[in-house]
Structure 1
Amino acid sequence: MINSVLSGSGKFKQMRHFAMLGALAAVAAGCASVPAARPSPVASPQPLARLVVATPDADHDVMAQLMAGEMALTHSDLKTAAAAYGKAAALSNDPQVAERATALALAVHDDAAAMHALERWQALGAKPAALAQARAELALDRGDAAEAQRQLESVLKLGGEDAWRQFGRVLVGARDSAQAARLLEALATPERLPADERAWLAMSELGDRLGRRAYALRIANAAAARFHSSATYAWAAQMTLRAGDRAAAQALLKQAIARAPGDTHLRLAYATMLAQGGDYPAAAKFLASGKQSADIYNLRAALAAQANDKQTLAMLYRQLQKSPDDIRQSSAFLLGQLAEMQDLKAEALAWYDQVGDEDPHAFDADLRSAVILHGQGKKAEAHELLGQLETAYLDQPEQLRKAYEADADLYMAEQKYPQAEMAFSRALQVVPDDPGLLYGRGLAYAESGKIDQAVTDLRRLLELKPSDIDASNALGYTLADANRDLPEAERLIAQARKAKPDDPAIADSWGWLQYRLGHLDEAASVLRQAWKQRPDADVGVHLGEVLWKSGQRDEAARVFEQVRKIDPTNASLRDTLKRLQP
């Protein structure tokens, strides 16, 4: 479009250049008739100094208006672009400029400008079908359904092979979707639709987008009955499932697969439908047969993991290792996950290292690598890798948050609580008031003995999520451990205990609260049960202290010894023994 305008301008410049050369030639000829021996008494002005070239002002310069319109479009300023193209259409003889002016005027709902542009476009020789399409859009914009229907009838009559595509474009862009839907149902009937399954599918999809689900389903089923293709059966299955008939949808999708057995997307859709219906074994069995792909292996692994089927996961790992290069390369992240599930940490690291930078799992592969390195005792390497991620994903908040949180979690595992606090705080700068981060930092503060800051974070978390049981328990325990605000601690832990009566961590909090309240017998009973249910080091330390204070020092010593075997470097055990045995 613009090229044609530019070429016209080029011809204009060339003609002006020839005129200038002619004027210069005339001046030169005049000078040649003057005898060279007679010098002029006064120096005459140079010929170019007398030459004046007229240039149009911006409002009457086609190129200036086109450039202004395009510049406005680069800034998504449709209103300015429409105004500029409207002026350009009045000045230009190029029908494509008038067409663009019409489209922009319609886009900004300037009906008067659209009418002027349409008239100019028609005068320059627009095709009747294109004009009818634009007039239908204008009529819909004005709310004139009758005129819109007349113009759409013209589109279908004059548009040829593109008729139904043009028809759909008018309706999908309508401001009044209800009016567009009524026109769709009135005109796009099975009797009028052409012998082209794409048109049927497009009209069904348009009906779905416009909220006419019954129409969409009716056209989809009619298309499947008429064309019997994999595409029509698949779409009918999707519409049928959305209507709530899973069994019928499953049958339709099965017919689609029968016509295109090698279509990976159809096979994945069918297996997903089986899984969503709760038939995981059938979904896994179906995917196991037939041609495999990276996506199919992913879904098979997900189904096996959900069923905690370690045998199948191990088998998938072996199969993937022997799969073709393209599948294996695109499945490097999955191979790493499968290796981790089998505790093959070194192999998992090797697979994660093969995940390419452009792979959508590149970040997650590096994150998992850091966790594995930390577990192998390579703590400095793990934090260094996370630091690299924090720099590389500085402009991607979701990944940046995960990197900071992982760094904080690893520092918590190392009992380096100040570093954990700092990492959690950085993450909270990225995602303020994130409940998970507030919870993590609250625990880090509590472990560092910064009780006021811990209480502030945990109370803020409960403001954001009043029903968060873990937060209630954490705040209640923190207050009980600090021997402050015990009525509040009792209320919070009782609330958590009611919600999770069998949770040993909450039982530990309740037993420790009873100890702070001086109820030694109840404390010992609750903590014994929690210790039996889960022999956690912290629970054992609490039980040992309660037994010690109750005078049952031999039993307390035995519990302390068991804690030492579970966690030889436990800081809580060390501090407790120092207090009890100074």
Structure 2
Amino acid sequence: MRIMPCRTASLLIMILLLAVAAPVAWAAEADARTAEDTAEDSLVSLLSAEFDLQGGETASAAAGYLDAARSSADPALAERAARVALAAGEPEVAQQALARWAALQPESVERLPLEANLALRLGERDAAAGSFSKLLAADDGSHWQQALQALAQTDARDLSASVLGDLFDAGALPAVPDAWYGFGSLARDLGDDALSDRMADAAMQRFPDRARVWLWQADRQRRAGNLVAARAAVDKALALEPADTRLRMTAATELNTQGDPAAAAAILAKGPQNAIIRTGRVAYLARAHDEAGMLVLYDEIKAVVAEDPSQLDDAHRFLLGQLGELLKRPQEAMDWYEGVRDQTRRGEAELRIAVQLDALGRTDEAEQRLRELQVAEREDGQSVLDSYLLQAELQRKHQRDQDAVDTYSRGLLVFEDDPQLLYARALTHEHLDQLDEAEADLRRLVAINPQDANALNALGYTLADRTERFEEALGYIRRALEIEPETPAIVDSLGWVMYRMGNASEALVQLRKAFELQPDPEVAAHLGEVLWHSGQREQARAIWQRGLDLDPENVVLKDTMQRLDA
């Protein structure tokens, strides 16, 4: 007997199936809607953060990126949130962003320097050292540079030095001489000379055959005042790796710092040459006043480009122009500068052409070139600014000080409140005995930047030298000294105002200090005058002679000697 299907049973089964399937479908649909909503929320947060960042609202941007990261599985958003939060100075947001990044990408090495940076900001020494240790342990040749940068960029200098010491003591530094040199230099920059010396000693034991370590020793010996040992260390470094171009450039820098620019130029003359190395040679030869050496280099470059014209690029044209200028061949220099076409250097070339025209006695043409530069549509704003400064400088050179004031004023219409233009105009006003105008410009500079030591010093010195407002002058000079306590010009100003206030003994202390810091003809003029009026006339004459040896044509010194009939 065939059993017929029961319609009632079938309907019941269908109803049961629908009852089971419906929640599954509804749940799937709800999950899809949730995912869509989450993605939409993430996108909205991301767009909002981007707009905030473009508008300079970095704190809001960081929070927006964090919201986007929470709604996304993309670790790049968490990274973005962390970086923006650190830049915005929002440690709590940075902490949450880094935690989200760690959850999404626990093995990320790129996260470690940010974690270390945050730990330094929060004063967490152990956490910072731990993150740096992990970063350095994962080194592929570049991570030590990230660690170096993170340690250098924090405001917590003492903490950075302590963490660096912890890393060194734990043996965490990589076996890379450049890394040791970098961290050792950082220790010194952070004010921990003892740590830097310990690292230098350890590096010498660990890498005795590496040139970089010997250059480190040269730097260390020079700082200790042992120039013979410093020079020997440079020679050892060059003997170890004579073909290393980068090493030669570093060695040349060290020799120049030791006070031997001629030796620096000679080092660069050996081995392969390019525009960068030749530029260094020019700088060192000029510093050594080696005209014969500059002529040799000039002829060398001309021979190279004559043999292979493809090497006559704009860098070499500019270099040949500089050499022609240094060798007092203005027409040749101008011809080389005229050939420069690269827009990044064209403005600077135009400035140098104006200088050559003036040297050739064609000052009107020089000024015309500069005026054309001032009205040209250029992306290079610096060369336009410099054109005003140079034109005024040429006018002052030819005793046209009022014209120079007018040029500075024209420049200030374009570059409003520019410090260079204001400062130069103030000095020119002072030279013209326009003291109210000079004081106004200097006060404007101080108002713009109360930490401008040069402006504070200039204002104080002007008041001390040209008025009787000595107490006010002293206040400005002391403020300048608080900012730059060892700047010779400011120490000189302090000595001069002390003399003007009748305190000759203290004036001599400060003026002698200024001359020791930097032998200068104007300081010699001041020191000699105080010695002269203190009855120490032979010492005054000796100081003045030293000043004349430095600059026989110095106006302040010559005027002082003439005024005192010395």
Give the shorter-chain TM-score range.
0.5 to 0.7
Distance 1:213 1:254 in 2: 24
Give the drift of 1:387: 0.7
Say whether the 8 Å CA contact 1:101–1:114 is kept in structure 2: yes
1:71 alignment partner AA: F
Aligned ranges for residues 334-373 of structure 1 at < 5 Å? 334-358=319-343, 360=345, 362-373=346-357
Task: Determine if the alignment matches structure 1 residue 229 to structure 2 residue 210.
Answer: yes
Partner amino acid, structure 2, of 1:354 = G
2: CA distance, partners of 1:108 / 1:225: 43
Return the letter of the residue paired with 2:332: E
Q: Normalized against structure 2, the TM-score is what? A: 0.59
Does residue 1:258 correspond to 2:242, yes or no? Answer: no
CA drift of 1:390 comes to: 1.7
What CA distance in whole angstroms lies between the structure 2 residues aligned with 1:150 and 1:505? Answer: 61
Stretch of structure 1 that moved more, 323-332 or 86-95: 323-332
Give the Å deviation of 1:94: 3.0
Aligned position for 1:91: 71
Code of the residue aligned with 1:386 in structure 2: it is L
Match of 2:59 in 1: 79
Question: Residue 318 of structure 2 is aligned with which of 300, 314, 333?
Answer: 333
Which of 305, 315, 322 is residue 296 of structure 2 equivalent to?
315
Q: Tell me, yes or no, if the aligned pair for 1:374 and 1:382 is still in contact at 8 Å.
A: yes
Counterpart amino acid of residue 240 in structure 2: R
Partner Cα distance (2:396, 2:143) in 1: 65
Letter in 1 for 2:302: Q
Over the matched positions of the two proteins, sequence identity in percent amounts to 30
Match of 2:194 among 197, 214, 233: 214
Q: Deviations over 1:290-311 (max 9, x none)?
A: 4444445445445554555544
Q: Distance in 2 between matches of 1:158 and 1:340?
A: 52
Residues 89, 98 of structure 1: 8 Å contact kept: yes
Once structures 1 and 2 are overlaid, which stretch shifts more, 238-247 or 385-394? 238-247
CA distance in 2, matches of 1:262, 1:467: 52
Kindly indicate whether the alpha-carbon contact (under 8 Å) linking 1:264 and 1:293 is maintained by their aligned counterparts in 2. Answer: no
Q: Are the aligned partners of 1:181 and 1:207 in contact in 2 as well (CA < 8 Å)?
A: yes
> What's the secondary structure of 2:194's corresponding residue?
helix
Q: Which amino acid aligns with 1:258?
A: A
Matched with 1:486 is none
Partner of 2:476: none
Residue 200 of structure 1 aligns to a residue whose secondary structure is: helix
* Unpaired runs of at least 5, structure 1: 1-52, 447-452, 473-490, 514-521, 530-582
Q: TM-score, length-normalised on structure 1?
A: 0.57
Code of the aligned partner of 2:303: K
SS in 1 for 2:106: coil
Deviation at 1:385, TM superposition (A): 0.7
After superposition, the C-alpha distances for 1:258-280 in whole angstroms (9 at most, x for unaligned) are 23324444334434444444445
Change (3 A) 1:263 1:437: farther
Residues 365-386 of structure 1 show CA distances to partners (whole Å, capped at 9, x for unaligned) of: 3233224334556555333211
TM superposition shift of 1:350: 0.8
Alpha-carbon offset, residue 64 of structure 1: 1.0
- CA displacement, residues 543-580 of structure 1 (integer Å, 9 cap, x when unaligned): xxxxxxxxxxxxxxxxxxxxxxxxxxxxxxxxxxxxxx
Deviation at 1:247, TM superposition (A): 3.7
Q: 1:355 to 1:214 in 2, by over 3 A?
A: farther
Distance 1:70 1:182 in 2: 37
Give yes or no for the alignment of 1:389 onto 2:395: no
Distance 2:558 2:168 in 1: 68
CA RMSD of aligned residues (A): 5.1
Shift in Å, 1:61: 0.9
Q: Distance in 2 between matches of 1:160 and 1:280?
A: 37
Partner residue, 2:251 = 270
Relative to structure 2, which stretch is displaced further, 313-322 or 262-271?
262-271
- Write the distance in 2 (CA, Å) between the matches of 1:424 and 1:507: 27
Q: Any conservation in 2 of the 1:230–1:260 contact (CA below 8 Å)? A: yes
Report the structure number with the largest CA radius of gyration. 1
SS at match of 1:322: helix
Measured after TM superposition, the shift of residue 92 of structure 1 is 1.9
Tell me the CA shift for residue 506 of structure 1: 7.8
CA distance in 1, matches of 2:430, 2:85: 57
Q: Which residue is equivalent to 1:126? A: 106
Unaligned stretches of 5+ residues in structure 2? 1-32, 443-456, 467-499, 501-524, 531-543
